[in-house]
Structure 1
Amino acid sequence: MTPDPDRLAEVFRRLSLAAGAAILEVYGRAEMDVAAKADASPVTEADLAADRIIAGGLAEAFPEIPAVTEEQAASHRAVAGAFFLVDPLDGTKEFVRRGGDFTVNIALIEGGRPVAGVVYAPAKGRLFLGIAGRATEETVEAGAVVPGSSRAVAVAAPDPAGLRVVASKSHRDAATDAYIARYPVADFVSAGSSLKFCLVAAGEADLYPRLGRTMEWDTAAGHAVLAAAGGRVVRFADHAPFGYGKPGYENGFFIAHAPGVALVEPETAAETGP
């Protein structure tokens, strides 16, 4: 059974803000300890502190719903029914470089779909929530544990003669550039982490293609926000709906976009992806 939307929104906001405050405390230090995980990706004290806050808070608020979180390998098992997907600090490389495009991500998955999600960028003071078919952005003062002013957000109607494309700060490659080159592009918007989904949701971009490896906890919350704002996320190869609960929680290539963007078909094996 889906939790009450108001209760879910309250918990998602509260936990993301608390996690963001813990992350900013580490971010503000002169030095931070960085370790390498088994896949060579970085992990910091901020990742682990945020994970403790979110995992503990979800277990307390919704003990009947399991959580799959990036930082707890034991949670990466197959789950029957609804479950939470958590990336406590998406964009750790950006965080370590002292860039601001890192985010806190919490999503609820039901029937393979992200039905609710929060994406909070604590260094930028932007908190996006998508739930019950409504997407909002809330302005948050740095380190605050309560949201500020709120506004509804929705995807924009794209200009077919000149699209605004959002691309990764850290993961651009030749295959992605070749695919983007097949569209009429008026502007590029550079962003990191799950903020790319949110820029499309807020009408600040029209198209975000990702030709590269991601995990479900990287994308679920942003996907939920974008879907609530009227956008879509589809599989790259066939433009079918992009689902969750896949083996190993590993994603294939995908395209996030506003309705009205005429998607082009993949031309090469590199574009088609796994």
Structure 2
Amino acid sequence: MEKTINKLLVANRGVPAVRVMHTCRDRKIPTTAVYSTPDRLAQHVFMADTAVHIGEAPPIESYLNMENMIKAAELSRSNAIHPGWGFLAENESFAQMVEDAGLIWVGPPPAVIRAMGDKIQAKELALKANVPTIPGISSVTDVKQIARWIKDEKVDFPIMIKAASGGGGKGMVKVERKEDLGQALAQARSEAKKAFGDDTLLVEKYIERGRHIEVQVVADNHGSVVHLYERECTIQRRNQKIIEE
């Protein structure tokens, strides 16, 4: 039997939270906002029907705190959670935790997130399907590993160090010279840990003057699957899309 959303907790802040709440207003679905201490006066807090404080400023204590999100849903009597994008949106452990708590997870099933939310695993699936991928190495732990790959594969700089989890341009550092590898690796690892709670990294050859083209796919629980055609997303700032057309 399909459950009905009676009240939706938006596990995010800023634009993602506001956009979800606008849609909920149109559909007359009550919402719950979550906020860290510095965000107590943010727009999404006042848009929601209920607001719950979930922790202090560091995301790991608030917007990445899965236990606090579940507690906030229970406290506000929300029976569904929408993750927005970024933070916990691509965390399969959180999706599973939501379902295990008897709540409605508004998003892809945990198994799908597990397969596609991790760039390393997604790349392995692409290779199995004979889809071309950018040359690189996975699960990078130290500079020597990167230097060995550059030497063995005769890779020219620049290269890109990426967080395996999440998105939004966080945890991505372009490296122009061998001398900068140590600092870049530490920076990417730190950003990934703070943004996604996971400091697993991969390294790829940097594609200069490349174009970012997306084809987005939407599916539901009834077996309906559609694609939303191509999107040109090349115009970016700090590895984040500014214009999609």
Q: Per the shorter chain, which TM-score range?
A: under 0.3
Structure (1 or 2) with the larger CA radius of gyration:
2
- Report the TM-score when normalising by structure 1: 0.25
Please identify which structure carries the higher helix content.
2
Relative contact order, higher structure (CA 8 A, sep 6+): 1
